[in-house]
Amino acid sequence: MRIGLFIPCYIDAFFPKVGIATLDLLERFGHEVVYPRDQTCCGQPMANSGFNAECAATEALFVRNFSGFDYVVGPSGSCVHHVRNNFDAIDQGAEVKEVRARTYELVEFLHDIQKVDAFPWARFPHRVGLHNSCGTLRRLKHARPSELHEPFFSKPIDLLSKVDGIEFVQPARPDECCGFGGTFSVFEEVVSTKMGYDKVSDHARAGAEYIVSADTSCLMHQQGCAERIGVPMKFIHIAQILNGESA
Amino acid sequence: MTITSESTGDASSMLHPELCADHDEAPTSPGGRRLDHAEGASKPMRSRPEPQPRGAKVNGNRPIDQAEAAARFIAAPEHEKMHDERLWDLRQKRDREMRHIPEWEELRSLASAIKEHTLTHLDDYLDQFETRARANGVHVHWARDAAEHNRIVHGILSDHGVKSLIKSKSMLTEECGFRQYMASVGIEVVETDLGERIQQLDKEDPSHVVVPAVHKLRTDVAKVFANTIGTTPDNSDVHYLAEAQREATRPLILAADAGMTGANFVVAKTGTFVVCTNEGNADLSANVPKLHIASIGIEKIIPRLEHLAVFVRLLSRSALGSPMTQYTSHFRGPRAGGEMHVVLVDNGRSERLGLEEFWTSLKCIRCGACMNTCPVYRRSGGLSYGATYPGPIGLIIDPTFNARKYSNLPFASSLNGSCTNVCPVKINIHEQIYAWRRELVKRHEVPLAKKAAMIAAGELLSRPAAYRAAIASADVALAHLPRFVIYNGLNVWGKHREVPHPAKHTFHSWHQANRGDRL
The whole-number pLDDT of residue B500 equals 82
Query: Residue B456 — very low, low, confident or very high, per pLDDT cuts 50/70/90?
Result: confident
Q: Do B415 and A182 touch (CB under 8 A)?
A: yes
Of the listed ranges A18-27, B34-43, B414-423, B493-502, the least confidently predicted one is B34-43
pLDDT in tens, B367-423: 999 999 999 999 999 999 999 999 999 999 999 999 999 999 999 999 999 999 999
Query: Residue B504 — very low, low, confident or very high, per pLDDT cuts 50/70/90?
Result: confident
Q: Which residues of chain B neighbour A138 with C-beta distances below 8 Å?
A: 416-418, 420-421, 430
Residues 6+ apart with CB under 8 A from A243: A21, A22, A24, A25, A28, A121, A122
Q: Is residue B147 predicted with pLDDT exceeding 90?
A: yes
Q: Which residues of chain A neighbour B411 with C-beta distances below 8 Å?
A: 49, 183-184, 187-188
Q: Is residue B42 predicted with pLDDT exceeding 60?
A: no
Q: Do B497 and A196 touch (CB under 8 A)?
A: yes
Q: Which residues of chain A neighbour B457 with C-beta distances below 8 Å?
A: 45-46, 54
Q: Percent of chain B having pLDDT more than 90?
A: 78
Q: Do B418 and A167 touch (CB under 8 A)?
A: no
Q: Is residue B327 predicted with pLDDT exceeding 50?
A: yes
Q: Is residue B475 predicted with pLDDT exceeding 70?
A: no
How confident is the prediction for chain B on average, in pLDDT? 89
Q: How far apart are CA B508 and CA B501, in angstroms?
A: 17
ipTM: 0.97
Q: How far apart are CA B314 and CA B365, in angstroms?
A: 10
Smallest CA–CA separation between B498 and chain A, in Å?
4
Per-residue pLDDT, averaged over B478-487, amounts to 48
The whole-number pLDDT of residue B36 equals 45
**DSSP string of B454-498?**
HHHHHHHHT-HHHHHHHTSSHHHHHHHGGGGT--SSS--GGGSSP
Residues 6+ apart with CB under 8 A from A207: A127, A169
Among B16-20, B47-51, B211-215, which range has the highest average pLDDT?
B211-215
Q: Do B411 and A188 touch (CB under 8 A)?
A: yes
Domain ranges in chain A?
2-113, 127-242
Per-residue pLDDT, averaged over B48-60, amounts to 94
Per-residue pLDDT, averaged over B430-440, amounts to 97
Measure CB to CB from residue B492 to each of A48, A86, A189 and give the nearest one.
A189
The whole-number pLDDT of residue A2 equals 98
pLDDT in tens, B237-257: 999 999 999 999 999 999 999
Of the listed ranges A115-129, B18-32, B165-179, B423-437, the least confidently predicted one is B18-32
Smallest CA–CA separation between B437 and chain A, in Å?
4
Measure CB to CB from residue B418 to each of A7, A54, A147 and give the nearest one.
A147
Smallest CA–CA separation between B422 and chain A, in Å?
6
List the beta bridge partners of residue B339: B291
Q: How far apart are CA A131 and CA A208, in angstroms?
A: 11
Domain ranges in chain B?
57-77+365-446, 101-347, 448-518
Query: Residue B32 — very low, low, confident or very high, per pLDDT cuts 50/70/90?
Result: very low
CA distance readout (Å), B205 to B215, B261, B352, B466: 11, 18, 24, 51
Measure CB to CB from residue B380 to each of A20, A191, A223 and give the nearest one.
A191
Q: How far apart are CA B343 and CA B407, in angstroms?
A: 30
Q: How far apart are CA B236 and CA B225, in angstroms?
A: 10
- CB of B471 within 8 A of CB of B506? yes
Smallest CA–CA separation between A79 and chain B, in Å?
14
Q: Is residue B199 predicted with pLDDT exceeding 80?
A: yes
Q: Which residues of chain A neighbour B80 with C-beta distances below 8 Å?
A: 194
pLDDT in tens, A169-222: 999 999 999 999 988 998 899 999 999 999 999 999 999 999 999 999 999 999
pLDDT tens sequence for chain A (247 residues): 999 999 998 899 889 999 999 999 999 999 999 999 999 999 998 999 999 999 999 999 999 999 999 999 999 999 999 999 999 999 999 999 999 999 999 999 999 999 999 999 999 999 999 999 999 999 999 999 999 999 999 999 999 999 999 999 999 999 999 999 988 998 899 999 999 999 999 999 999 999 999 999 999 999 999 999 999 999 999 999 999 998 6
Query: Residue B338 — very low, low, confident or very high, per pLDDT cuts 50/70/90?
Result: very high
Q: How far apart are CA B328 and CA B331, in angstroms?
A: 10
Q: Do B104 and A149 touch (CB under 8 A)?
A: yes
Q: Do B497 and A40 touch (CB under 8 A)?
A: no
**Based on C-alpha coordinates, what's the Rg of chain A?**
17
Residue range A127-242 in CATH 1.10.287? no
- CB of B393 within 8 A of CB of B210? no
* pTM for this model (two decimals): 0.92
CA distance readout (Å), B69 to B75, B85, B212: 10, 19, 18
Smallest CA–CA separation between B439 and chain A, in Å?
7
3-state SS class at B140: strand
Query: Residue B450 — very low, low, confident or very high, per pLDDT cuts 50/70/90?
Result: confident
The whole-number pLDDT of residue B453 equals 83
Q: How far apart are CA B212 and CA B390, in angstroms?
A: 11
Query: Residue B503 — very low, low, confident or very high, per pLDDT cuts 50/70/90?
Result: confident
Q: Do A194 and B481 touch (CB under 8 A)?
A: no
Measure CB to CB from residue B492 to each of A13, A50, A186 and give the nearest one.
A186
| Angle between helical axes of B194-201 and B238-255 (0-180°, round to 10) | 90
Domain spanning B101-347 has what CATH number? 3.40.50.10420
The chain B residue lying nearest A132, using CA atoms, is B416
Q: Is residue B178 predicted with pLDDT exceeding 90?
A: yes
Of the listed ranges A145-149, B163-167, B488-492, the least confidently predicted one is B488-492
pLDDT in tens, B83-138: 999 999 999 999 999 999 999 999 999 999 999 999 999 999 999 999 999 999 99
How many CB pairs below 8 A link A and B? Answer: 256
**DSSP string of B232-280?**
-TTB--HHHHHHHHHHHHHHHHHH-SEEEE--SEEETTTTEEEEEESSS
Query: Residue B494 — very low, low, confident or very high, per pLDDT cuts 50/70/90?
Result: confident
Q: How far apart are CA B378 and CA B364, in angstroms?
A: 20
